[in-house]
Amino acid sequence: MAGVTIRDLRKSYGSAEVMHGVDLDIKDGEFTVFVGPSGCGKSTLLRMIAGLEEITSGTVSIGDSVVNEVAPSKRGVAMVFQTYALYPHMSVYKNMSFGLKQAKTPEAEIDRRVKAAAEVLQITDYLERSPRNLSGGQRQRVAIGRAIVRDPQVFLFDEPLSNLDAALRVQTRLEIARLHQRLGATMIYVTHDQVEAMTLADKIVVLRDGRIEQVGTPIDLYERPANGFVAQFIGSPKMNFFNVGEVVNGTAHAPDADTYIGIRPEHMQPCALDTAIVSGRLELIENLGEYALVHLIGEAGNDFIVKMEQAPVQAKGDMIGFTAPVDRIHRFDKATGLRHDS
């Protein structure tokens, strides 16, 4: 096993630079998730680590060696793709053993590894089937099995669950988490889904437009987002923003200041209008039984959402005031978006 070190990594297609100097340290055995909106550079970054995409400048190291010029098959990495990329005319067994055969691994060793991986993934009964006769979830398990048999130093996953339906996504996500616990291997996982990032990661890397916005544990990012972008990307429903400069002794101040505040829907508490930090007109209630999502229209016309254990008693159109614990009120700079910590 090995960690991954990335220094001032850049990628251009023609004259267009799409990765703008990324620095990142991934520890041996860590589960790291790259998350961000579509087009932010997650796949490009992963493919540069895999060796599938040429590096324009900067370095990628796996363990102690720079691998910029090392062929993908010699980097000790194994990649799992969204589209599975299985050979349709080969059995599951052959799909899983193909890479080892290419590497001239002895037959008995191949057999041992394929059977052990199949056991872990519970696909032993399908080994002689063709991928064509498997469900999407089973195919993705074969693709993961093909990675496991190679016993890589680093596993790379590019949106491996995106082609699965919602229930299977949750189940397969758990299987990947168990696999990481069991193997203790370094894993790098790309997704645009913040729930996958929060649930799987030891460390989340939030990307936007070819730059890293923040690196941290899921809880770091949730509790102390470095800027307004991360604040709204992590958490669902997303954080509410208000044109309030700061909150002093529980009251809103300075709408004209160069800062604004953010409060997560689950941290807003209803209160009397005269003690409220913000207030809004009740527009719509989504009652999910376990909790209600209450949609309101704020004073300046900005909508916000409050997550409440019970739906409010007020009627549509009524004004409701809200407060929040002081340590749950985030403050960001209007010009730079950066977090203020005073």
Amino acid at 214: Q
262: which residues sit within 8 A by CB, 6+ positions away? 228, 231, 232, 239, 240, 241, 242, 329, 330, 331, 332
Distance (Å, rounded) from C-alpha 217 to C-alpha 304?
27
Binding mask 26-45 for ligand ADP (x = CB under 6 A): ----------x-xxxxxxx-
41 vs 225, beta carbon nearer ligand ADP: 41
- Closest residue to Mg ion using C-beta atoms: 43
Minimum CB separation of residue 213 from Mg ion in Å reads 17
Give min distance, CB of 78 to ligand ADP, in A: 19
Residue 34 CB, shortest distance to ligand ADP, in Å, is 8
Tell me which amino acid residue 309 is.
E
**CA dist., res. 32 & res. 50, Å (int):** 15
- Residue among 33 and 96 whose Cβ is closer to Mg ion: 33
Number of residues that bind Mg ion (CB under 5 A): 1
Q: Quick one: 38 or 102, whose CB is closer to ligand ADP?
A: 38
Q: Exposure pattern of 207-224 as b/e (b: 16+ CB <10 Å)?
A: bbebebbbbbebebbbee
- Amino acid letter for position 288: L
Q: Is 259 helix (H, G, I), strand (E, B) or coil?
A: strand
Q: Give which of Mg ion, ligand ADP, none residue 267 binds (C-beta under 5 to 8 Å, depending on kind).
A: none
Letter for the amino acid at 104?
K
The site partner of 18 among ligand ADP, Mg ion, none (C-beta below 5 to 8 Å per kind) is ligand ADP
Single-letter amino acid code for the residue at 302: N
CB of 222 to Mg ion, least distance (A): 24
Encoded tokens for 72? 């993908």
Beta carbon of residue 164, minimum distance to Mg ion (angstroms, whole number): 16
Shortest Å distance, C-beta 180 to ligand ADP: 21
In the bound state with Mg ion, the residue whose beta carbon lies nearer, of 43 and 194, is 43
Residue 294 CA, chain-centre distance (Å), reads 26
Q: 231: which residues sit within 8 A by CB, 6+ positions away?
A: 225, 239, 262, 330, 332
13 binds, among Mg ion, ligand ADP, none (CB under 5 to 8 A by kind): ligand ADP
Amino acid at 164: L
43 binds Mg ion (CB under 5 A): yes
- Mark residue 76 as left, alpha or beta (left: phi above 0; alpha: psi -120 to 50; beta: remaining): left
If one asks whether residue 44 binds Mg ion (CB under 5 A), the answer comes out as no
Token readout for 164 is 């699965």
Q: In the numeric block, which tokens belong to residue 168?
A: 């299977």
Smallest distance from the beta carbon of 16 to ligand ADP, in angstroms? Answer: 7
Q: Which stretch binds Mg ion (CB under 5 A): 40-48, 63-71, 285-293, 309-317?
A: 40-48
Quick note: the x/- pattern for Mg ion over 133-172, rule CB under 5 A, is ----------------------------------------
**Encoded amino acid at 105, one letter:** T
Contact criterion met (CB below 8 Å) for 155 and 77: yes
Smaller CB distance to Mg ion: residue 43 or 95? Answer: 43
Least separation in angstroms between CB 147 and Mg ion: 18
Nearer CB in complex with ligand ADP: 39/237: 39
Residues that bind ligand ADP (CB under 6 A): 13, 18, 36, 38-44
Residues that bind Mg ion (CB under 5 A): 43
